[in-house]
Amino acid sequence: MTKLLPPGEGSRLLIDGKLVAGGAGVFATVNPATEEVLGQAANADAADMDAAIAAARAAFDNTEWSRDHAFRARCLRQLRDALRDNIEELREITIAEVGAPRMLTSGPQLEGPIGDLGYFADLAESYEWVSDLGVAKPMGIPTARTLRREAIGVVGAITPWNFPHQINFAKLGPALAAGCTVVLKPAPDTPWVAALVGTVIAEQTDIPAGVINIVTSDDHQLGAQLVTDPRVDMISFTGSTQTGRTIMAGAAQSLKKVFLELGGKSAFIVLDDTDVAAAASYAGFTVCVHAGQGCALTTRLLVPREQYDTAVAAAAKSMGGIVPGDPNEPGTVCGPVISARQLERVQRYIDIARAEGGTIVTGGGSPDRERGYFIEPTLISGLSNTSTVAQEEIFGPVLVVIPHDGDDDAIRLANESPYGLSGEVWGTDQARIDHVVNGVRTGTLGVNGGIWYSADAPFGGYKQSGIGRELGVAGFEEYLETKLIATAQK
Ligand code: NAD
């Protein structure tokens, strides 16, 4: 097996089936755990992006890709299997470039989303592409109606750095299964993990030229170019709410569809009929996974006021026991954050919490390590839900504990947020749990530790957490158009 990234060599772009250098040279990709330059990635320029869009357009317009469902299913399974053949090299690069804890690479940071490609291959085969609406007599004319679902066209996929494989494949899988062609613009912080998938596609699959194009760049403007180009039919974006706004505005000129997975500030609601200490301990643990760099993590812990001290003590104990460490180590849960910029951002929010009168119960700074972008799991008490750290997304291992005065107050506080991505409810009485689930306005909710994430389960946000759903049949249908054919009957 050829090495995807021969030692000393950088990654390349995938444009029109060929692996090519970037018009703007190269840019460095950095190991966030060591601050060392891992190597170089191809740096695309506007002409490269233009060529990628042209290739995707041509592959969509001039080939049978969008109509040959069986071929696409075969290509998706072939891609899944080829990625599995290269899994150990992909794993080491994912740990090094993303700072992803090794234990997560057997799940959501690598192997999980690769396996999920099979779900979308199955869907391409089993989906009801054509359905019969029967004969009706609109305006007195007997008419047979046929409903057809067709691929939307060229998709521009723009993705962030936190779970890059998960997010890249959650777009590539359904878009390709639907019959679209794609230009993927990954985050500047994690170019290699996307580019190496491009190498696998080019060298080890039959996916036709132009169907997938992968354009790495250190320039956000290449994303903006994708958004405004009229040859692109849809933008599928995951990232910050602020960038989502910019993308929606940019897409308005060509009136293309936007699908947005954005930020979150999700609430973990603990009812007073459950073991509050156990719930708080679990909440403290989950917010530390991958150094808190998960959009759907529950970063506000809402607990019964009379058990506030119990909850704070339990969360502090679990968070204080998690030492940020080398993501290579099999036992590490909390590795580094992605960059110096992100580290400064998290530290700035902790400083704001102090300035607003909050108490840092545990953590609050960087651990005693010589290198790497590490931050201690940090628990904040003594602030209200309107404080900055309770309202704004931090994207670090930071949890704020807020008291509530009963189930309705907990619902009110959970919804007192511009976001509506996810949440968690812990309780015993099913009627009370149902009442809270009904009241909270978010796209996913876990109950007593249930896991909502799965290839067949739609994920996405209410309010400013996004538009549309990723994964599941709903996520697949985001990439489809609807065509109705009405044939007059004799
Ligand atoms: P970001 O918004 O800064 O960047 C995301 C992507 O958008 C990158 O590829 C970037 O190059 C590109 N981009 C930036 N400006 C652009 C522009 N003007 N036009 C087009 N593209 C542009 O986000 P980030 O810092 O990389 O990621 C962290 C954010 O992502 C967090 O807010 C997090 O909540 C969110 N996120 C959301 C989900 C979800 O599913 N809801 C999942 C993961 C991350």
Domain ranges for the chain, please list them. 13-263+465-486, 267-447
pLDDT tier for residue 1 given thresholds of 50, 70 and 90: very low
Atom of ligand 1 nearest to the CA of 470: 40
Ramachandran angles phi, psi of 406, nearest 5°: 115, 175
- C-alpha–C-alpha distance, residues 52 and 64, integer Å: 19
- CATH value of 13-263+465-486 in 3.40.605.10, 3.40.50.170, 3.40.50.2300, 3.40.50.10680: 3.40.605.10
Pocket test for ligand 1, best of 232, 243, 261, 299 (most atoms within 8 A of CB): 243
Nearest residue (CA) to ligand 1, atom 36: 239
DSSP characters for 23-87? TTBEEEEE-TTT--EEEEEE---HHHHHHHHHHHHHHHHHSSTTT-HHHHHHHHHHHHHHHHHTH
What's the 258 CA to ligand 1 centre distance in angstroms? 14
Tokens representing 27?
């840019």
Q: Is the CB of 263 under 6 A from ligand 1?
A: yes
Q: What is the 303 CA–ligand 1 centroid distance (Å)?
A: 31
Q: How far is the CA of 338 from the centre of ligand 1 (A)?
A: 13
First CA to last CA across the chain, in angstroms? 62
244/231 Cα distance (integer angstroms)? 20
Interstrand relation of 462-463 and 419-420 (parallel, antiparallel or unpaired): antiparallel
Amino acid 9: pLDDT: 84
Arithmetic mean of pLDDT, 351-373: 96
Which residues are tagged catalytic?
A: 261
Q: How many CA atoms lie within 13 A of 125 on its CB side?
A: 12
Tell me the per-residue pLDDT of 412-441, one tens digit each, with 9 for 90 and over: 999 999 999 999 999 999 999 999 999 999
Give the confidence band of 83 by pLDDT, cuts at 50, 70, 90. very high
Round to whole Å and give the CA distance between 176 and 212. Answer: 9
Q: How much distance in Å is there from the Cα of 380 to the middle of ligand 1?
A: 26
Please tell me the distance from the alpha carbon of residue 146 to that of residue 416, in angstroms, as a whole number. 45
Question: Ligand 1: which atom is nearest the Cα of residue 243?
Answer: 2
Q: Is the pLDDT of residue 156 over 70?
A: yes
Q: How far is the CA of 329 from the centre of ligand 1 (A)?
A: 28
Q: What is the mean pLDDT of the chain?
A: 97
Cβ of 216 closer than 6 Å to ligand 1, yes or no, is no
CATH architecture group of domain 267-447 = 3-Layer(aba) Sandwich (3.40)
Most ligand 1 atoms within 8 A of CB, residue of 97, 220, 235, 469 to mutate: 220
Report how far residue 367's alpha carbon sits from residue 364's, in angstroms, rounded to the nearest whole number. Answer: 9
> Is the pTM higher than 0.95?
yes
pLDDT score for 465: 98
Question: Residue 8: what pLDDT?
Answer: 79
- State mean pLDDT over 174-184: 98
Q: How far apart, in whole angstroms, are the C-alpha atoms of residue 466 and residue 454?
A: 19
Q: What letter represents residue 151's amino acid?
A: A
Model pLDDT, residue 255? 96
At 480 the pLDDT is 98
Average pLDDT over residues 359-381: 96
Residue 246 CB–ligand 1 contact under 6 Å: yes
pLDDT digits (tens, 9 = 90+) for 241-267: 999 999 999 999 999 999 999 999 999
Cα 402 to Cα 410: distance, rounded to the nearest angstrom: 10
Segment 285-332, tens digit of pLDDT:
999 999 999 999 999 999 999 999 999 999 999 999 999 999 999 999
The reply to whether 13-263+465-486 and 267-447 are identical in fold is: no
pLDDT on residue 2: 58
